[in-house]
């Protein structure tokens, strides 16, 4: 599917009048994404042919491609209010809302399962095993995913570091080099500290992997490769059901890259888990 990675540049080539005409569409894509080209033109008070010419000038191959872009843009710009208002069980019981949220998670997991590229995830795991250092970037709510992945990587003795604050992101990516791998997790618009950390790491030569929910995310734009998973939910937050499934797949791959070495390490882990001082005893 076509995506326009240089929309900022092509948009700037439009006349000021045409920029102002389409600016509301790009700033509020949810209000336009379902419109036909005639309905869009009517809303913008131009004829359909003019609307299509402007869309082609922006670099899209067709109106359908532009609609796909608006859909991705609406995903990236979604707020907690937008998600809450997307619920299809308005006015229903609390139980119905709970069921809808869980059903939505199941659907997100199924979509992820349908497009799962196991070989690609295995290749990422191999790259992690070869890295001098692994920096896992993410803040705000995504800090929970960072902590989860970081914990499992260090359990295998991999040289992983977590960066969940702006200072940590800046310092760790500033010193990242060509033998390092940086994993950046951020969804929707993209958290500034994560995006800027990713940019800095890539400029320094580190191999950058993004995990986000849309191809128009700056995470997807600045990473060498990007894994896409949905965080949509009919509630006010973000659902990490699909991202957690992706991380579990990656963690599993890491465990089986060097099974002999990892099993020997995990025997020591098992001993600590059975008898270590961290665990409660009656």
Q: Give the mean model confidence (pLDDT) for residues 272-277.
A: 87
pLDDT over threshold 80, residue 66 = yes
Which helix (H) or strand (E) segment is 183 a member of? strand 180-185
pTM: 0.84
Which residue, among 83, 68, 192, has the nearest Cα to 139 in the 3D structure? Answer: 192
| pLDDT of 157 above 80 | yes
- Which pLDDT band holds residue 276 (cuts at 50, 70, 90)? confident
pLDDT at position 1 is 40
Task: For residues 79 and 29, give the distance between their C-alpha atoms in angstroms, rounded to a whole number.
Answer: 13
CA 176, 177, 178, 179 dihedral sign is negative
**CB atoms inside a 10 Å sphere around CB 120:** 11
User: How far is 7 from 26, CA to CA, in rounded Å?
Assistant: 10
pLDDT at 5: 47
User: In whole angstroms, what is the distance from residue 176 CA to residue 135 CA?
Assistant: 8
- What proportions of the chain, in percent to the nearest 5, are helix, strand and coil? 60, 10, 30
Q: Name 182's bridge partners.
A: 135, 208
The tally of CA atoms less than 13 A away on the side-chain side of residue 124 is 24
Q: What is the pLDDT of residue 2?
A: 44
Interatomic CA distance for residues 34 and 16, integer angstroms: 26
Separation CA 242–CA 114 (nearest Å)? 12
Phi-psi sector, 59: left (phi>0), alpha (psi -120 to 50), beta:
left
Question: How high is the pLDDT of residue 279?
Answer: 86
Tokens of 153: 């990587």
DSSP per residue, 87-148? -S-TT--HHHHHHHHHHHHHHHHHHHHHT--HHHHHHHHHHHHH-SEEEEE--GGGHHHHHH
What's the mean pLDDT in 161-172? 97
SS3 call for 224: coil
Under DSSP, is residue 235 helix (H, G, I), strand (E, B) or coil?
A: coil
Mean pLDDT of 26-44: 91
- Mean pLDDT computed over every residue of the chain: 91
């Amino acid at each position: 599917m076509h995506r326009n990675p240089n929309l900022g540049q092509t948009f700037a080539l439009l006349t000021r009048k045409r920029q102002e005409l389409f600016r509301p569409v790009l700033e509020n894509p949810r209000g336009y994404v379902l419109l036909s080209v005639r309905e869009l033109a009517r809303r913008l008070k131009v004829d359909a042919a003019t609307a299509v010419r402007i869309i082609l000038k922006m670099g899209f191959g067709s109106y359908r491609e532009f609609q796909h872009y608006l859909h991705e843009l609406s995903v990236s710009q979604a707020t907690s209010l937008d998600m809450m208002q997307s619920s299809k069980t308005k006015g229903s019981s609390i139980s119905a809302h709970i069921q809808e949220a869980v059903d939505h998670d199941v659907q997100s997991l199924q979509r992820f399962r349908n497009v799962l590229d196991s070989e690609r995830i295995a290749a990422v795991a191999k790259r992690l095993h070869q890295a001098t250092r692994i920096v896992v970037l993410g803040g705000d709510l995504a800090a929970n995913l960072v902590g989860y992945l970081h914990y499992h990587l260090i359990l295998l003795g991999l040289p992983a570091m977590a960066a969940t604050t702006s200072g940590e992101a800046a310092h760790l990516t500033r010193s990242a080099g060509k033998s390092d791998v940086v994993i950046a997790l951020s969804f929707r618009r993209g958290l500034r500290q994560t995006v800027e950390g990713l940019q800095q790491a890539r400029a320094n030569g580190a191999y950058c992997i993004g995990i986000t929910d849309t191809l128009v995310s700056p995470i997807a734009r600045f990473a060498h490769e990007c894994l896409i998973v949905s965080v949509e939910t009919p509630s006010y937050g973000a659902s990490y059901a699909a991202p957690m499934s992706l991380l579990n797949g990656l963690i599993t791959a890491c465990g089986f890259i060097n099974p002999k070495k990892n099993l020997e390490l995990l025997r020591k882990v098992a001993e600590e888990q059975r008898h270590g001082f961290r665990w409660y005893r009656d």
